[in-house]
Structure 1
């Protein structure tokens, strides 16, 4: 049983009026061969044939500077980044309900679904209540949307079934120079109550959601970049290698927190996930039944001269693509772990047709490349990032809360009943 849908969001700016976020959904079953027609075994470095797929229709539109995070129940939390107001959207029922406002707005975040709760932390966490001169802000780098059983208060009024709880940032935020090298590079949810994060400079840390306490795990960095997805069918975490994000590897994180040792390698890596251009975002999403989706976003720019006079500069036509690849983890030859690539589909988010549907650089909820021209800053708290949003086009990040979590962070999904 795998997720019925993957959700992606693109930003649409009509050059006038408010920017809107458009939610679309994809049936991930199209990324896999039938059980009786599995792909022929191939070398781990072989490339998968890529098929072009039509952009899916819009399922829901959100207006304003909206950020998204997916809970473990596949419902989507949407937060207005300026007012901190939050809503809960149920894509299965197409219903919306109001949530309590976030304690502090966040920039460039990562989110983790742990049980019924949702944890949100800035990618570069800072000490609480920091005064940075012009950048001064109250400073709540880490907080969680905690679920609770509703109970009566003040007569007939029922209290909210969830609330935002401020939490302490990782201990390394008090180190000197944290603003430049304290970025969280790898992260995962381990078990029912631990969040594991690591940086290149300060090592790996674990957060116990039960005690709300941090502990240092080691002076090493996790071997994957971004989120590693837990595959319960095999007891392993899969992610893209920190050395080469075109390689999908598997690790056992189950004993990392308690033994304070780097995670043992279960599979040295399946290659063949490279794309034509350097990707500006990559994500892995667990679908269930030992299957995953690897999402790669990249841009292709074709330069053209707008005028023959020296006063004119070169302009460029940019096309944004998302390539999704179905992956299956299997056991064979005496419990040996193997990673099988299935199909790959490519979605294009810019075309020559000026229709609004094509007038967008979509993302599967992934950030725009850092060198986007004519851009203004925007933020997205799904998964993690501070995106640069083009005046004409934009991209959000993969709902990467799929450990439960995806929107992303990124991708989110519905389960078959």
Structure 2
């Protein structure tokens, strides 16, 4: 399930569905857009259907998806619940909290049954983990662990534009980060400013905890820097 541009310049919430009775068995089906957020809450600037973070639930609620919208100023964000079986939003389940992630979070049952993704910007856009199993309309989830890798730090003269965590299985993640000069600097440069992406491979493992049981830890693998000089790049992965 993804949120894609539908070709008309507007956004659409869509699902990739399988229908064996049609000539094209796999196709995109437009779903109902998220309910309007409360006053002061935005899904994104100039794009009321863009979502800030989302995660599929697990267990008995594995057919549902948490979708968060961010607030602005003193107004807190909110989270909606989408029922993938009924293809409808659970309007009565709107919660006055947001997921502790930036973008998509992936449930990894082998790693203490935690959800992993990129943390919010105020937490540094790091690989992080959270337990969403107890989340409800009145009970927000909390950030469980933030794991910092050396590739997370922006070099001097650059700032982080966006980041993604792609789960590869067996506790391995590819962390993709896109860096560019601050806008106030690049506007005054004669040549095209350098923009680049850093792909970092990490592995999350379980280690003995001082409180008993096991906790998560990160092992850094290889990383690679990709420079974009001519083409304007909006997304990495």
Residues 175 and 160 (structure 1 numbering): CA distance in 2 closer, same or farther, change over 3 Å?
A: farther
CA distance in 2, matches of 1:107, 1:237: 32
1:143 corresponding residue in structure 2: 14
Residue 200, structure 1, aligned to residue 70, structure 2:
yes
Task: Tell me if structure 2 keeps the 8 A contact 1:246–1:274.
Answer: no
Q: Distance in 1 between matches of 2:16 and 2:126?
A: 34
Shift of 1:271: 5.3
Match status 1:160 vs 2:24? yes
2-side partners of 1:290 and 1:209: how far apart?
27
Structure 1 pair 314–349 and aligned structure 2 pair: CA distance change class (3 A): closer
Alignment correspondent of 1:266: 144
2:167 match: secondary structure: strand
Structure 1 residue ranges without an equivalent (≥5): 1-68, 71-78, 82-103, 109-121, 123-140, 152-157, 305-312, 351-359, 361-392, 399-409, 411-417
Within the candidate set 78, 94, 108, 1:231 is matched to 108
Distance 1:177 1:265 in 2: 22
Q: Secondary structure at the match of 1:249?
A: strand
Whether 1:293 and 2:174 are equivalent positions in the alignment is yes
Distance change in 2, residues 1:146/1:224 (3 Å)? same
Give the Å deviation of 1:260: 4.8
Residue 255 (str. 1) matches residue 134 (str. 2): yes
1:222 to 99, 105, 119: 99
Indicate if the aligned counterparts of 2:161 and 2:179 stay in contact, CA closer than 8 A: yes
User: What residue in structure 2 maps to residue 316 of structure 1?
Assistant: 191
Q: Which structure exhibits the higher relative contact order, with contacts defined as CA atoms closer than 8 Å and separated by 6 or more residues?
A: 1
Q: Which of 360, 383, 394 matches 2:232?
A: 394
Equivalent residue of 1:342, what SS? strand
Q: Relative to 1, partners in 2 of residues 1:262 and 1:394: Cα closer, same or farther, differing over 3 Å?
A: same
**Equivalent residue number for residue 326 of structure 1:** 201
TM-score, with structure 1 as normaliser: 0.44
State whether residues 323 and 345 of structure 1, in contact with CA within 8 Å, keep that contact through their aligned partners in structure 2: yes
Question: What is the 5 A alignment of 1:38-117?
Answer: 104-105=6-7, 107=9
Gap regions ≥5 residues in structure 2: 72-76
2:52 is the counterpart of 1:185: yes
Equivalent pairs, count? 211
Decide whether the 8 Å contact of 1:185 with 1:200 is kept in 2.
Answer: yes
Distance 1:168 1:175, change over 3 A: farther
Larger radius of gyration: 1
